């Protein structure tokens, strides 16, 4: 079998096509995005609120939850880049809803909440 100039050109064209396919395929796959986070604290007029549930729901309806610790701190980790709605609920307190927080790749968003006691907010006298 002889290898002439035509065969060498064909092999070169095939090699170039393979390399281009691999490079373009890798570029279209994109760089994987890093997860983001939303963190902060929850307080009321008396100080930090322990045991509040913070729920983040993305545009696909996937929900992540975190519970505030003794110091009122919460952290929602490993959130994919997306827009989230947040809801904060705690027993005997009014809930808080934030319709849209955008989380970008690798970003940590700081979001603090001050929530009122349900009795104080509704005008019910406490004894």
109-119 pLDDT, tens digit each: 999 999 998 77
Domain assignment of residue 34, yes or no: no
pLDDT tens digit sequence for 44-59 = 999 999 999 999 999 9
- Give the domain extent around 91: 55-122
Q: What angle do CA 40, 41, 47 make, to 5 degrees?
A: 165
Domain assignment of residue 63, yes or no: yes
On the 0-12 / 13-18 / 19+ scale of CB atoms within 10 A, 37 is: middle
- Please give the average per-residue pLDDT across 98-107, as a whole number: 95
Per-residue pLDDT, 1: 53
Per-residue pLDDT, 32: 74
What's this model's pTM, rounded to 2 decimal places? 0.68
Closest CA to 38 of 71, 62, 64, 60: 64
Domain assignment of residue 74, yes or no: yes
pLDDT tens digit sequence for 52-79 = 999 999 999 999 999 999 999 999 999 9
Domain assignment of residue 94, yes or no: yes
Domain assignment of residue 77, yes or no: yes
Domain assignment of residue 26, yes or no: no
Per-residue pLDDT, 92: 85
Domain assignment of residue 115, yes or no: yes
Closest CA to 114 of 88, 75, 85: 88
Number of domains in the chain: 1
Domain assignment of residue 64, yes or no: yes
Tokens coding 93: 């307190």
pLDDT of 108 over the 60 cut: yes
Per-residue pLDDT, 86: 96
């Amino acid at each position: 079998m002889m290898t002439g100039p035509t065969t060498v050109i064909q092999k070169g064209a095939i090699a170039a096509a393979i390399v281009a396919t691999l490079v373009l395929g890798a570029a279209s796959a994109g760089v994987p995005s890093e997860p983001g986070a939303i963190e902060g604290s929850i307080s009321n007029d008396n100080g930090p609120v322990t045991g509040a549930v913070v729920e983040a729901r993305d545009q696909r309806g996937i929900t992540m939850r975190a519970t505030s610790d003794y110091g009122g701190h919460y952290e929602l980790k490993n959130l994919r880049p997306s827009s989230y709605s947040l809801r904060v609920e705690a027993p005997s307190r009014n809930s808080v809803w934030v319709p849209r927080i955008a989380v970008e790749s690798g970003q940590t968003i700081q979001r603090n909440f001050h929530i009122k006691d349900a009795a104080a907010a509704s005008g019910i006298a406490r004894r």
